[in-house]
Amino acid sequence: MNHIKTFVLLAGLTALFVGAGYMIGGPTGMLVALVFAVGMNLFSYWNADKIVLRMYGAVEVDAGHPEPLVRAYVADIEDLARRAGLPRPRITVIDSEQPNAFATGRDPAHAAVAASTGLLGLLDRDEIRGVMAHELAHVKNRDTLTMTVTATIAGAISALANFGLFFGGSRDDDERPGGLIGTIALAILAPIAAMLVQMAVSRSREYEADRIGAEIAGDGRALARALEKIEAYARGGAVNVEAERNPATAHLFIVNPLTGKGADNLFSTHPATHNRVEALLRLGVSQATRGRAGTAVPAGDRRIGPWG
């Protein structure tokens, strides 16, 4: 059912893009937009991880890194990937004070995960494991391709609408069904519609990634604590500059990276953090109850303590 819903949502974004082309350039514009959308989807499929990682200046790291925090981060992701039955992803760090993380890639064999320097400095080791288990859950669920392609198309719709507003000359008004007024309306409504579809793709997947991430890490409460800390820090005003420049990528992160100073944060791509925390705490109680009832907890599920 989730795959059908994702297909419908992505088809809706593509239709928005083609419709924008029709409003700006009539039948010719629609055909050009359709060809461009197909090409963009294919390009995004093969290059999604490279696009996003380059956008955020992600640096690949390994077990030989000189910083102990980073070495521990690498070791934990390798352990979590094994527990999830996944290939080792590319492991990267982005230089950002704002604590956050994301995953990208077209499939588990071509996945990459990224954590910000702010996240590694703010959270303890259990909490970082919880966050990265959430990101690996997106990889396991094959959400990363959908989320990255959605970001690409949503950004293109906004760019196309703005192009139509600023460069749509009056001489072609007879060919454009909406004329100048239609182009102005398109410039306003198309990005909002794209954001709503993007939001639907993202929100429906965050709860599931939280649940599966808690199972991978063996401790949903650590992820709940991490979400609360990240949310509190974000309210303090730490800015993710690249995310502010590219708001169509906001849904890739575990917590919305936008500050909300402008209209970019009008529609949040993430469920409310307190709702996610409550769901994780309920899951933790359920896990604890099963443990007291005699269900063995694997050794790897035990908490491993703070950064040392």
C-alpha span between 249 and 244 (Å, rounded): 9
Q: Which of 308, 275, 14 is nearest to 149 (CA)?
A: 14
Q: Is 15 inside any structural domain?
A: yes
Q: Is 308 inside any structural domain?
A: no
C-alpha span between 134 and 289 (Å, rounded): 22
Q: How deeply is 170 buried, as exposed, middle or buried, from its count of CB atoms within 10 A (0-12, 13-18, 19+)?
A: exposed
Tally of residues, the chain: 308
Q: How deeply is 89 buried, as exposed, middle or buried, from its count of CB atoms within 10 A (0-12, 13-18, 19+)?
A: buried
Q: Is 293 inside any structural domain?
A: yes
Q: Find the domain containing 96 and state its range.
A: 2-301
C-alpha span between 250 and 189 (Å, rounded): 19
Residue 91 backbone zone (phi > 0: left; psi -120 to 50: alpha; other: beta) = beta
Q: Is 82 inside any structural domain?
A: yes
C-alpha span between 170 and 164 (Å, rounded): 11
Q: Is 115 inside any structural domain?
A: yes
Q: Which of 138, 265, 148, 150 is nearest to 207 (CA)?
A: 138
**What is the total count of domains within the chain?**
1
- Respond yes or no: is residue 231 known to be catalytic: no
Q: Is 235 inside any structural domain?
A: yes
Q: Is 307 inside any structural domain?
A: no
Residue 307 backbone zone (phi > 0: left; psi -120 to 50: alpha; other: beta) = beta
Q: Is 306 inside any structural domain?
A: no
Query: Which among 67, 78, 135, 215 is annotated as catalytic?
Result: 135
Tell me the residue type at 135. Answer: E
pLDDT string in tens for the chain (308-residue length) = 456 666 676 677 777 777 777 777 777 777 877 787 777 767 777 877 788 899 999 999 999 999 999 999 999 999 999 999 999 999 999 999 999 999 998 889 999 999 999 999 999 999 999 999 999 999 999 888 777 677 667 667 766 666 665 655 444 555 555 555 655 666 666 666 666 666 666 666 889 999 999 999 998 999 999 999 998 887 776 788 888 877 767 778 998 887 654 433 444 668 889 999 999 998 865 655 555 444 443 433 333 333 33
